[in-house]
């Protein structure tokens, strides 16, 4: 069974994304911030991190950098609807350069999330 950590500080959005993936054969662990996401990734030996970029305590980019330092082949999907500087997708571009396998701009569909997960799983370790 595929283990996914879903890091999103907005409870309603986290619930929606979890629902998007619910009928698949995934185990979903929820995190409210980057610190929780890293801890859960380690504890549960999760396969994929889906992380929002803008979060409190440790943002998604910082969480990605920390995780990739320990696990360079970590499979990460970055999501964001907020803006960094003046470009609303700048954070996603940076996430891609840091090593995110897929990026999704909010709002996105159930199908887009499922495709991102499937594509990320299909990439080599």
Question: What CATH number has the domain bearing residue 88?
Answer: 3.40.50.2300
CA separation for the pair 46, 5 (Å, rounded) = 7
Residues 6+ apart with CB under 8 A from 57: 33, 34, 35
Taking a C-beta distance cutoff of 8 angstroms, is the pair 74, 91 a contact?
no
pLDDT digits (tens, 9 = 90+) for 44-75: 999 999 999 989 889 999 999 999 999 999 99
Could you list the residue range(s) of the whole structural domain that residue 48 is in? 2-122
Nearest by Cα to 6 from 116, 125, 123? 116
Note whether 76 and 52 are within 8 A (CB): no
- Indicate the DSSP class of residue 84: B
Question: How many Å apart are CA 105 and CA 71, to the nearest integer?
Answer: 25
Instruction: Report the number of distinct structural domains present in the chain.
Output: 1
Q: What angle do CA 80, 34, 92 make, to 5 degrees?
A: 25
pLDDT value at 87 more than 80: no
Give 91's pLDDT tier (boundaries 50, 70, 90).
confident
């Amino acid at each position: 069974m595929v283990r996914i950590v879903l890091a999103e500080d907005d409870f309603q959005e986290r619930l929606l994304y979890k629902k998007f993936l619910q009928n698949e054969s995934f185990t979903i662990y929820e995190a409210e911030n980057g610190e929780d996401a890293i801890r859960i990734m380690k504890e549960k030996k999760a396969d994929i991190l889906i992380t929002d970029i803008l979060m409190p305590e440790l943002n998604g980019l910082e969480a990605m950098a920390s995780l990739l330092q320990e696990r360079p082949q970590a499979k990460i999907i970055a999501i964001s609807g907020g803006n960094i500087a003046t470009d609303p997708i700048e954070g996603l571009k940076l996430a891609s350069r840091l090593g995110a396998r897929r990026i999704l701009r909010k709002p996105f569909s159930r199908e887009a999330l499922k495709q991102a997960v499937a594509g990320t799983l299909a990439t080599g370790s």
